[in-house]
Each structure stands twice: as structure tokens, then as C-alpha cells.
Structure 1
Amino acid sequence: MNAPERLRGAGALTLAALPLAMAAANRSSPAVMALSAVLFLAAALVEDRGAALATLVAPLRTATGLVALAFLGWCGLSLAWSPFPALSLRTAGEFGPTLFAAYLVARLAPGRMPPGTALAAAWMLGLAGLYIVADLAADLPVQKAIGARVAYFIFNRPVLTILLVVGPLVALLVRRGHRLAAGLTSILGVAAILCSVSGAATLGFLAGTALALAAWLLPRRAGLGLAGSALALAVILAPVEGDLLHRLMPEAAHERLVQSSSRARVAIARSFGAAVAADPWRGAGYGTAGRFAHTPVTDTIAPDWRGMLAVGHPHNSFLQVWAELGIVGAGLLAALLFLLLRTLAALPRFQAVTALGLVGAAIAVAFVEHGAWQGWWVAGLGAAVTWLREGWSDAA
């Protein structure tokens, strides 16, 4: 085995370990993704620098790549009017390197991983799911033993990472004839999602499963139409999400969702929606959600709305883009998502169904959960895309 093969093997095992690493330390995925990226990049440069450069640059010359660069460029430009440039740079320092690492792995790993990597990833994801289920069922004995914070939500990030990775990985195992491993991985991954206290993970699982089934059972255009409608609604309705929920959500629903703090979430969405309405064009600046209550736009909205702006982010990535980057940022994001959907439309049916399942899960989670620029989420998406592309390399 030569040096590039050893480097790729180490990079593949590192990537495979990402869900298990997250189960052990729920902020570890950016570091895991960075290490995998360094190993794959080193292998590519040692083997053929020209080919590696061509592989990395080619997607950036497409319409999708150009729009992605334009979106990132607008993020950077918005630092010019950010009232908190240090906060914006700190946010970019988490998001940017993780995004770059995820891009490197997603471009350099597929089709170049050693045989057996998918099985290794399946066993490690299964171990992560088994550990999460067992630790939750036993009332977190591991956290108590090591003196860590004892709270059920510590597994929310790991199960959301499992949510992203499990579908593409199971599809890859099925394609390669490892049906038993695929079945066990599915059972343990889904069990971890449903046993956790993460309502976002459950919602993402249901949305991803529903969209994948629709794409499998309906004509291709109908499945893509559903995905496109979901994307359009996620972007368009984000600024008015809070007002819509306030008017349409009955009190009984809030009572059933008391553990999810639904009333507070509606109030947060209404507050950030009011901020978008006050400054819809350019937004407050990239990465300002952490101190949004102190941005100049808050002086123009009603005092009743200002308190909830201090929560750190609106628990809706699309709404956060609107609030920080305005209509230009939201428009570029929408264009990027639809171009990605157009790419999926050209895939063979099985790969398209798997990809649309991931799209459905990611949209649902992004609409109700974390901040837009968190590195652990980007790392999870990068791992999921890598396993998707590994399956596509089999079909090539």
C-alpha cells in the first residue's frame, strides 16, 4: 500500500467515525471533518496535484458553484455594515473552515475510499445509536460517572448528525449488497432519533421519510415538485412564520408541545420577523444573531418584540438568513437550493430518492432548530453528501 492509499484509508476511517465521535463529544464533528479533509487532500496532492485542483475547481465554474460563491461573497460583504465585526468574524471562523473541509471531503473522498469503509461507517453509526439509546434508557450513567453535565438534550446534536448520515449510508450499503448491515444500521439510527428528546430530529425523520416515499411512489416530476414547494415555502414563509403560527396554532397544540417551548419559539419567530420587516433589504450583517438585540434595527421595532431577540438565533436558519443578509441573501440562498434540486433531477431514480430524503430532513430541521452557521451541522451535511456521492460513484 503506497502513501496516498494509506492517507485515504485514514481519512475514510476518520469520516466513518464522525457519528460515534459526536455521540462521545457533541461538538467534535468540525474537528473530525477537518482531519478527514487534511488526509484526503494530502493523498490527492501526493498522487496528482493537477487532477486534485481540477476536481476541486470544476464545480465552482457551474451555475450552482457561481451562485454559492455569490452567496458566500454577500456574507463577506455584509461584514462591512455589521455592528459587531468581531462577532461576525468569529462566526465565520467556525462556519468557513468547516464548510471548506466538508467541500474537500465531498469532492475528494467519493470513489476513492478503501473497500469496507461503508461497513466500518455502518458499525460505528450503529454503535453511536446503541450508546445513545442505552445511556438515555439508563438515565445518563456515563455523564454522571465522568462528572459531565447531566441533561437529556446533550444527545440532540449527535442524533441530528445521525439523521443526516443514516439515509445515504444505508442506501450505499443496499447498493453494495450489505442488506443485513443496512437493516441494523437503520434500526439503531432510527431508535436513537426516536428515543432522544430532539423534536427536530423526529420531525426531520418524518419529513425525510415522507419526501423519499413520495419521490419513490410518485412520478419523478411530482416528487421534485414537492421538494421544490417545500424549499420555496421554507424561504418565503420564514419572515412571517411567527405571525402565521400565532394565528393558526391552537392553544391545545401548545399544551401538547410544552416540552418544545412552542410558545417561546413562536414569540422568537415573531420578533425576528418584525426585525426583517424593519430592514428587509440588506439585513443586520452576517453572524449578528448572537447579539441581535443590540443591532440598530431593534431601535425601529416595538419594545415588546425586543426581548426575544436576545436568544442567540431565531431557531430557523431561513429566518436567520433573512434577518442577517436581507432579501439579497435570501434570494441567493433560494437560487442555490433550486439549482441543487435541478442537479438531483438528473440523477437515476434510486439516488434521487435518497438525496430527496436528505433534502426533506435537512429542510425540516433547519426550519425549526439550530443557528444557520453552526459548524457541527455543516460537518454532518458534508458527511451525508459524501456518502451520497460515494453511492453515485458506484453507479458511474
Structure 2
Amino acid sequence: MNDRLGKWCGGVLIWVAAMTPLLAYVGPLGFALLPAIAGLLMAPAFWIRPEDHRIMLVLVLALVWGWISMVWSPQRPTEFEDNAAAKLTLALPLFWSAWCGARRADPRLGAIALRILGYGMAGLGLILGFEALTGAALYRAIHEALYEPIRPDIAMRNLGRDTFVVALIWPLAALGAARAGAPRWLAAPMVIGMGLAAHRFGSDAPLLAVVVAGIVGWMVWRSPLKGANSLGWVAACFFLFMPALVMAGQAAGIYQPLRASLQLSWAERMDFWAAAVDLIGQHRLRGWGLDASRTFSPQIRLHPHNGAIQAWLELGLVGAFLAAGFWGLSLRRLTTTIGEASWVAPVTAACASVYLLFGAVNFGLWQEWWLGLGVLVAMLAALTRAQPSAAFEQAAP
């Protein structure tokens, strides 16, 4: 049978795989567009399977609630670029199509995409290692040649953001490439280069992410059903009880002493969280409205730098329950890969835990490039799962 749609989706994914390391290096904000364009190109693959119904229902309800909350939100967008509800409405079908395209792709072309991504991310790891040793010399030279001179501190800050991308996707990039026939050692330059750059450029979270990914991956590998279900419950509880955790720390008298012991960037995050929790108390059920975080400066800078607190602050208890439901349902689906491809579930769980970690301390819920990276993780998981690599699984320890 000539599967034209599968081949078309496979070709699009080869392009996505080639673009991913490039965007990770020169402009991570481009991940807002990469899966969206891929979703548009693979729109014929859009399909909601029976097992997808509950997740799609949660997403649609969250989107509807977001639009409703705009009625009382102090954030009044006048342009599309500033309208989070409009952008999320456009993103939902495009991002879903991108994921469906990854599930629909011809496995042989998917294998090519995974190998390209694996070698590309390994190459990026080598480049980041070189940048760490030279103080971002290559990045500054490229920027000066194509645009204008850039200050060394800004160049290092930009490369520090690149390490978040690598820390998020390297487990699936390495596993997918290995299941598609590439050497397993490709993981080494990804991790080492990312680690050197994160240390050199002051990015703490990517270093912590390696530890978190290892622990979660090992937990799900050792006890697949219990591990995946436990991760789902942890994620759901994070979204439901994070503000209560902050309030408990304040009531116990340990919040401020802990804040005083941390470096400035972490202390500022705790200030944002405390200010947000005070505001949450004024509108616990409905929240302040979608994207309202942007209006509370200087107490909160753009967003609270914690996804659970932002969900409560903007969408209230309703939004927190919907976020908890989405993550609980999504992570529970990892159990469907157990016994079919033993490494896919633990490695996908590892990437999901890193996404949650970064969302808890770094990025806002509605940042388009960050949402796009989450979709890219889902696409990689689908591609990796589709690879028939029994020999790889049998060789696993």
C-alpha cells in the first residue's frame, strides 16, 4: 500500500529534526513556530483517537475557561501578539496536528528523522562544550558576522538558555536515535556539552535536570506501572497544592529564612511566589484572569516563574484542576508503552519530569516557545515508540 500521508508526515519530521539543533543554538524562541508549521503541514493527519478523548476534553475546557476569564482579567490585549487566549486557540489544533503527524509518519522516514536529530543534538553538545571553554567565542563571531557585535555577557546568557533545550530533549533524542540504528554514545556529547555550558553560563536548573531525569527514569524503569502512575499523581498534586505549600512554609516560619539563604535569582522567585499567593487568596475560585500575571509588576515580573502558582493566580481553582487533570491523564498514558518498548516509558517520563521542573522555576505557562518544546517532546516520544527495535530492547540491561 502506498501510504502517501505517512510519507509526507515523515518528510516533514525530517525537516523538524534538522531544524531542532539549529534553533536550539541560534534562537530557541523559534520553537514557537516549528511545531506550529509542522502541524499546519501535517493537518491531514489530525485525528482524535478514542484514547485521546479525555485529554482533548480537558484542553478544550481549559481553553474555554481561559476565554471566559478574559472578562475579568486586568490584562487587556489590543493586538494578537498580546492575546494569550487567541494564540492558544490557534496553537491547540496546530500542535495537536503535529503530534498526530508524528504518530502517523512512515516508520522508515521517522527513523531517518531520529538519526538526524541524534547526530544534530550530539553536534550541538560539542559546540556548547566549545563555547563553554572559549566564553561563547563562536556564538559572538557568528552574531557579529550576521548582525552586529554582541556583549559577551549577553551571548553567554543566550547560550545558557540553549542548555534548557538540550536538557529537556536529550533523553528522547538519544533513545530515538539509538532505536533507529545510531550509536548509543551520541548521548555523551549531548550531556557533557550541555553540562559544561550550563555550569559556565550560570544555568543551575539544567544541571539539576540531569539528576531529576535520571531518578525519574530509573524509577519508571524499575517499576513501570507504579512509577508512571506515581509521577502522574505527583504532577497533579504539584498543580493542586503548590500555593498551599508556600503558605505552609510561611506559617511555619521557614519561608523567609530559606529565602535569605539563597542567591538573588532564587530569592526573587520566592518573592514572586509569596506575592502571587497573597493575590490568589483574593480570587481563589476564578483567579484574576488569563495572563493577569503581567499586570502585577514589580511584585511579579511577567509571571510567577512557577506553572502551578500561575495557574492558580490566573485561572483559580478551576484552572488548577484542569492543569492537574491534563498532566495526570498524560503521564498515566505512559503505562500503555510498558511491555511494548521498555525504554520508551522511562525516558519519556524523564523528559516530562524535566519539563515540569523547568516550569516550576523558570518559564511561564503561556510562553509559546516553551509550549512548542513540550509538543516537540510528545512528537519525539511518538516517533521513538514507532521504531521496531527489538534488538535494542533485548540488549538493554
Question: Secondary structure at the residue paired with 1:373?
Answer: coil
Corresponding residue for 1:297?
none
How far apart, in 1, do the equivalents of 2:9 and 2:350 lie? 31
Which structure 1 residue ranges, 5 or more long, are not aligned?
A: 45-51, 294-306
Aligned-residue offset at 1:274: 0.7
Letter in 2 for 1:354: V
Letter in 2 for 1:376: W
2:71 aligned residue (80, 99, 111)? 80
Aligned-residue offset at 1:164: 2.1
Per the alignment, do residues 372 and 353 of structure 1 end up closer, same or farther by CA in structure 2, a change over 3 Å counting?
A: same
Corresponding residue for 2:205?
200
Structure 1 stretch displaced more, 235-244 or 345-354: 235-244
Contact 1:17 1:125 in 2 (8 A): no
Letter in 2 for 1:25: G
Contact 1:173 1:179 in 2 (8 A): yes
Q: Structure 1 residue 322 and structure 2 residue 312: aligned? A: yes
1:141 aligned residue (137, 142, 149)? 137
2:372 aligned residue (379, 386, 391)? 379
How far apart, in 2, do the equivalents of 1:275 and 1:12 lie? 46
How far apart, in 2, do the equivalents of 1:105 and 1:286 lie? 25
CA-to-aligned-CA distance 1:292-345 (integer Å, 9 cap, x gap):
35xxxxxxxxxxxxx423x11101011101000000010111112111122112
How far apart, in 1, do the equivalents of 2:343 and 2:368 lie? 29
Corresponding residue for 1:299?
none
Letter in 2 for 1:125: M
2:268 aligned residue (261, 264, 271)? 264
Contact 2:118 2:186 in 1 (8 A): yes
CA-to-aligned-CA distance 1:221-256 (integer Å, 9 cap, x gap):
43135313421341133214444555436858854x
CA-to-aligned-CA distance 1:45-78 (integer Å, 9 cap, x gap):
xxxxxxx3xx423369612221221112111221
Per the alignment, do residues 2 and 215 of structure 1 end up closer, same or farther by CA in structure 2, a change over 3 Å counting?
A: closer
Aligned-residue offset at 1:290: 1.2
How far apart, in 1, do the equivalents of 2:181 and 2:150 lie? 41
Aligned-residue offset at 1:9: 1.9
Per the alignment, do residues 91 and 142 of structure 1 end up closer, same or farther by CA in structure 2, a change over 3 Å counting?
A: farther
Letter in 1 for 2:133: A
Q: Structure 1 residue 120 and structure 2 residue 116: aligned? A: yes
Give matches, 1:18-29, under 5 Å. Answer: 18-29=20-31
1:176 aligned residue (159, 173, 180)? 180
Corresponding residue for 2:61?
70
Letter in 1 for 2:265: S
Corresponding residue for 1:36?
38
Give matches, 1:1-396, under 5 Å. Answer: 5=7, 8-41=10-43, 44=44, 52=45, 55-58=46-49, 62-86=53-77, 90-112=83-105, 114=109, 115-145=111-141, 146=144, 147-149=149-151, 150-151=153-154, 152-180=156-184, 182-184=186-188, 186-188=190-192, 190-191=194-195, 192-193=197-198, 195-217=200-222, 219-244=223-248, 247-248=253-254, 255=261, 257-258=262-263, 261-293=265-297, 307-309=298-300, 311-348=301-338, 349-394=342-387
Question: Secondary structure at the residue paired with 1:308?
Answer: coil
- TM score, norm. by length of structure 1: 0.82
How far apart, in 1, do the equivalents of 2:126 and 2:255 lie? 36
Letter in 1 for 2:208: L
Contact 2:335 2:345 in 1 (8 A): yes
Structure 1 stretch displaced more, 336-345 or 130-139: 130-139
Question: Secondary structure at the residue paired with 2:67?
Answer: helix
Contact 2:288 2:314 in 1 (8 A): yes
Corresponding residue for 1:48?
none
- TM score, norm. by length of structure 2: 0.82
Sequence identity percentage: 19
How far apart, in 1, do the equivalents of 2:313 and 2:206 lie? 24
Per the alignment, do residues 104 and 24 of structure 1 end up closer, same or farther by CA in structure 2, a change over 3 Å counting?
A: same
**Number of residue-to-residue matches in the alignment:** 368
How far apart, in 2, do the equivalents of 1:241 and 1:206 lie? 23
How far apart, in 2, do the equivalents of 1:106 and 1:248 lie? 43
Corresponding residue for 1:49?
none
Contact 1:26 1:154 in 2 (8 A): no
Question: Secondary structure at the residue paired with 1:85?
Answer: coil
Contact 2:259 2:267 in 1 (8 A): no
Per the alignment, do residues 3 and 112 of structure 1 end up closer, same or farther by CA in structure 2, a change over 3 Å counting?
A: closer
Contact 2:122 2:187 in 1 (8 A): no
Per the alignment, do residues 186 and 137 of structure 1 end up closer, same or farther by CA in structure 2, a change over 3 Å counting?
A: closer
Aligned-residue offset at 1:120: 0.9
Contact 2:219 2:227 in 1 (8 A): yes
Corresponding residue for 2:395?
none
How far apart, in 1, do the equivalents of 2:18 and 2:192 lie? 16
CA-to-aligned-CA distance 1:106-128 (integer Å, 9 cap, x gap):
11123525242111111221222
Pairwise CA RMSD of aligned residues? 2.9
How far apart, in 1, do the equivalents of 2:293 and 2:102 lie? 34
